[in-house]
Amino acid sequence: MRVYQFSEQPYYPTWNDHSGSLRVILPNRKCDPRIAADLFHRYYDEYQACDDLGIDIMLNEHHQSATCMSSAVVVGLSVLARATKKARLLVLGYPIGHRPDPLRVAEELATIDVISRGRLDMGFIKGIPYEIAASNRNPVELMERFWEAHDFILKAMTTHDGTFNWEGEYFHYRQVNIWPRPWQEPQPPVWSTTGSTEQARVLGERGYVMATLGTGYGTRKIYDAYRKSYLAKFNRAPTADRFAYLGLVAVAKDKEEARRRGHLIAGYLRTSSIVHLPFRNPPGYLPVEDNARLMRGETPPRSFTKDGRSINMHAATVEDLIDAGILFCGTPDEVYAQIVDFCEHCGGMGNLLMMAHGGELTHAQTIDNLTLFAAEVLPRLRSYRQPDAEAAAAVVAA
Amino acid sequence: MLQRTDSGSNSLTVEGTRVDLIERGGGRPLLFLHAENGIEPAHAAIDELAKSAHVIAPTHPGFGRSDTPNGMRTVDDLSYFYLDLLDQLELREVTLVGVAFGAWIAAEIAVKTTARLARLVMANAVGIKIGDRETRDIADVFALTEPEYLEIAYCDPDAGGRDYKSLPPGEVAAAARAREATARFAWSPYFHNPRLKSRLHRIRIPTLFLWGAHDRMVGEAYGRAYCAMISGARFETIERAGHFPHQEQPQIFAKRVLSFVDGK
C-alpha cells in the first residue's frame, strides 16, 4: 500500500468568526497575510517531513475559502517538486472543467513532472459545488468541458512529433506542441474522485485510479461498480492500486491522545460544509432526478458504519467516525487493524490518502502523528497482502 | 406534425426537436414564450389570452418534458428553433409575447426577422446589458436562498412559493428542469447576450413593454432603457406584480396584451 499525506492547508484562525459561510463570500479581510505566510511555511515543512519519513504527498485546491488556502495548486506542486526528493506528488485534484485554458494545465503539469523527475500523479476532478461560484463556469455542462479538457491534456502530453490541431466544442488551438514534455511515459498516472457508482463505472472503463472520500463502509459498492466495468473493458480484475480512499488518521502512543487528535483533525469535516446555502447545489451540478428528490426533501445518507448505521460526517463524534471508517484513530496497533479491516471490506484498497493534519492540530502534534505513523504503521501496511483482486472481481461478475 | 399526447397537451417536433405545446383559442395567432420558471405558472394567463386569440405556447427546449438537443446552449440557438417553428406552422401576422427569459428569446427572434410577426410584447424582459461592468443589472438569483428570491421576484412572495413535497412528481421534475435549463442558457454571460443590444434597431414592428412594477430582480429603469432601444416601443407598468406579471396578474396581463393586439 502507498500512503499519501494530505492537508487542506486551512486558515483555521477564522473558523469561529464567520457569518454562516467559510467559503465563497467570507471577506478576505479576515485573512491576515502574515498569519497565512506562517501557516503556509508550516504546512510545507510538514510536507517536507513526509518526504523524509517515506510518506507520499497529496495536494488539492479550493477557491475563496478559509477551509483551504491552496487556491492555485500548481503553486504548492511547484514548491514541493523542488523541495522534496522522493515522495510522489499527487494532485487530487485539478478541477479541469473549470479552467479556461487546458493548454496551460498541460504545460504546468508537464513541467512539474519534469522538475520532480517523474513523481507527479495527475488527478483530474469535477470539483465540489461551491467551486462554481468562483470560476463562474456553467454547472450544466461542467462534465462535458471536463472530458474535453481531459482529452486535450492527454493528447498534448503524448504528442511529440510536432504540432496538432484542436477545434472542439469548448477549446480551440491550432498549433499545440508543449515544452517540456512530461517525464513519465506516456504521461503521469491519471487519477480521479467520485462518490457515485455511475462515475465509478466511467472511471473503471478507463482504468484510472479512483478515490473516494467520506464513503466509509459504503465504499464497497462504488469500488464494485468500478470492478465491473474494468473487468468488462480489460478482461482482468483491477488490482488494489486502482483504488484510493481518503481517511483521517490520528495515531498516538495512548488512546486518549489519539482521540484528542482525531477530534481536532475532524475539524476539517465539521467546517467543510459551512457554506451559504445557495452555493451548495448550483443548478445542473446534479442530475435533474437528484435535484427533484432534494426538492421533495429526500436527502439520502452518504456515510455508513460497518453495521449499516448512517452517520452525518459533518457532525459525528470521533467514535462514530471511527465506526464509519472515516477516521482511523488510536494506538499504532489499533490504526493498523482499522485500516486493514477497511481494506478487507473494500476487497482491496491500495492507496491511503491520509489526512494526518486537519483543523487546529498543532505543528508538533502533526509531526508526532506523521512520525509515529511512519515508524509503526506504514511498514506493516507496506507488507500487508491485499485481498485477492480476481476473487473480488469474480463476486461482482457473478 | 402537431400531435396530441396522452396527457392532453400537444407535442410538436421541429427539425428533430420535440417540445410540449399548448394550443388554445381562436382568431389571430399569438406565440407565447414562457418565463424561466416554466410553463405551469403561465397557465392562467394562457387561458385568459385564449379567450380572444389563437394561443400557441410551447415549452422551450430543455424545460418541462421538451427535448434538449445536443449542443443547444444559447438563447440564439433557441431563437432559431422558434424561427423554424414559425415556418413549420406557417404562421403569419403573429403577435409574439415573451415574459422575462421568454422575452429575451422574443428579442433574439425579432432582430433576425419579423417577416412572420405583426407585433411584439416584451414583459419584464432580460437579454441585454445596461450598466457598467461592475453594476449588476439583474440580481444574481443563483446566489439567493429561495425566500430571498421570492421576495425580489414577486410582489407577493406567497404567489411564487411552491410546496414541492405536495406537488405531483412531474411538476417537481419540471421545476428542477426549469432551474437547470435557465442555467444552461443564462449562466454566463448572465441573462444577456452582449451582441443583442446593437441589433435591437432591426425591430421595426409595434412593440409593447409590460413591466411588473414590483420586480426587484430586474428594475423598471432597466426595462425603460431596453424599451428606448426599440423604435416606437411603448412602456406600461402592471401594478401588484413582480418579475412574472403574467402569473401574479394574469387577467390584467392578458387584457393589456389583447388590447395591444387590437391596435389600442
Q: Where does the pLDDT of residue A299 fall: very low under 50, low under 70, confident under 90, or very high at 90 and above?
A: confident
SS3 A262: helix
B24 has pLDDT over 50:
yes
SS3 B55: strand
Identify whether the C-beta of residue A266 lies closer than 8 Å to the C-beta of residue B155. no
What digits encode the pLDDT tens for the residues A121-153? 999 999 999 999 999 999 999 999 999 999 999
Q: Which domains does chain B have, with CATH numbers?
A: 2-261 (3.40.50.1820)
A169 min Cα distance to partner chain B (Å) = 8
> Cell 474535453 identifies what position?
A148
Which of B169, B183, B188 lies nearest to residue A283, judging by beta carbons? B183
| Chain A 119-138, residues with CB within 8 Å of chain B CB atoms | 133, 136-138
Which of A133, A137, A288 lies nearest to residue B180, judging by beta carbons? A288
Cβ pair A278:B177 closer than 8 A? no
When the pLDDT of each residue in chain A is averaged and rounded to a whole number, the result is 96
Pairing of strands B10-14, A56-59: unpaired
In which domain, by residue range, is A317 found? 2-397
User: A–B: how many Cβ contacts below 8 A?
Assistant: 59
Q: Residue B22, Cα to own-chain centre: how many angstroms?
A: 14
- Please report the pLDDT score of residue A271 as a whole number: 96
Buried b (16+ CB within 10 A) or exposed e, B57-75: bbbbbbbbbbebbeebbeb
Identify whether the C-beta of residue B2 lies closer than 8 Å to the C-beta of residue B40. no
* Chain A residue closest in CA terms to B141: A278
Rounded mean pLDDT, B231-254: 98
When the pLDDT of each residue in chain B is averaged and rounded to a whole number, the result is 95
Identify whether the C-beta of residue A48 lies closer than 8 Å to the C-beta of residue A57. no
What digits encode the pLDDT tens for the residues A320-348? 999 999 999 999 999 999 999 999 999 99
Cβ pair A141:B142 closer than 8 A? no
Query: Among the residues of chain A, which ranges form H helices?
Result: 33-53, 73-83, 102-115, 131-135, 142-158, 197-206, 219-234, 255-265, 267-272, 288-295, 318-323, 332-346, 363-376, 378-383, 389-397
What digits encode the pLDDT tens for the residues B219-235? 999 999 999 999 999 99
Pairing of strands B10-14, B17-24: antiparallel
- Please report the pLDDT score of residue B2 as a whole number: 60
Identify whether the C-beta of residue A266 lies closer than 8 Å to the C-beta of residue A248. yes
A67 has pLDDT over 90:
yes
Rounded mean pLDDT, A19-36: 96
State the total domains in chain A.
1
Rounded mean pLDDT, B181-205: 98
B78 has pLDDT over 70:
yes
Which of B145, B180, B188 lies nearest to residue A284, judging by beta carbons? B180
Chain B residues within an 8 Å CB radius of A277? 145
Chain B residues within an 8 Å CB radius of A284? 180, 183-184
Rounded mean pLDDT, A293-311: 89
Percent of chain A with pLDDT over 70: 100
Quick one: three-class SS letters along A181-240? Answer: CCCCCCCCCEEEECCCHHHHHHHHHHCCEEEEECCHHHHHHHHHHHHHHHHHHHCCCCCH
Burial degree of A161 (CB within 10 A; 0-12, 13-18, 19+): exposed
Percent of chain B with pLDDT over 70: 97
Cβ pair B183:A282 closer than 8 A? yes
- Please report the pLDDT score of residue A254 as a whole number: 96
> Cell 476532478 identifies what position?
A125
B99 min Cα distance to partner chain A (Å) = 21
Rounded mean pLDDT, B46-64: 98
What are the angstrom distances between the C-alpha of B152 and each of A55, B159, B161? 53, 12, 12
B6 has pLDDT over 50:
no
Q: Measured between alpha carbons, how far is B185 from B183 in angstroms, rounded to an integer?
A: 5
Rounded mean pLDDT, B52-81: 96
- Predicted TM-score (pTM) of this structure: 0.96
A24 min Cα distance to partner chain B (Å) = 10
Identify whether the C-beta of residue A73 lies closer than 8 Å to the C-beta of residue A107. no
SS3 A82: helix
CATH number at residue A103: 3.20.20.30
Span of A174-183, B10-19, B145-154, B159-168 with lowest mean pLDDT:
B159-168
- Please report the pLDDT score of residue A303 as a whole number: 87
What digits encode the pLDDT tens for the residues A3-14? 999 999 999 999
Cβ pair A296:B145 closer than 8 A? no
Identify whether the C-beta of residue A132 lies closer than 8 Å to the C-beta of residue A285. yes
For testing contact with chain B, the best of A136, A138, A299 (most B CBs within 10 A): A138
- B165 inside 8 A of chain A by CB: yes
B3 has pLDDT over 60:
no
| DSSP codes of every residue in B72-112 | --SHHHHHHHHHHHHHHTT--SEEEEEETHHHHHHHHHHTT
Q: Measured between alpha carbons, how far is A118 from A121 in angstroms, rounded to an integer?
A: 9
- Please report the pLDDT score of residue A302 as a whole number: 80
Q: Where does the pLDDT of residue B49 fall: very low under 50, low under 70, confident under 90, or very high at 90 and above?
A: very high
Q: Where does the pLDDT of residue B243 fall: very low under 50, low under 70, confident under 90, or very high at 90 and above?
A: very high
B7 has pLDDT over 60:
no
Chain B residues within an 8 Å CB radius of A134? none
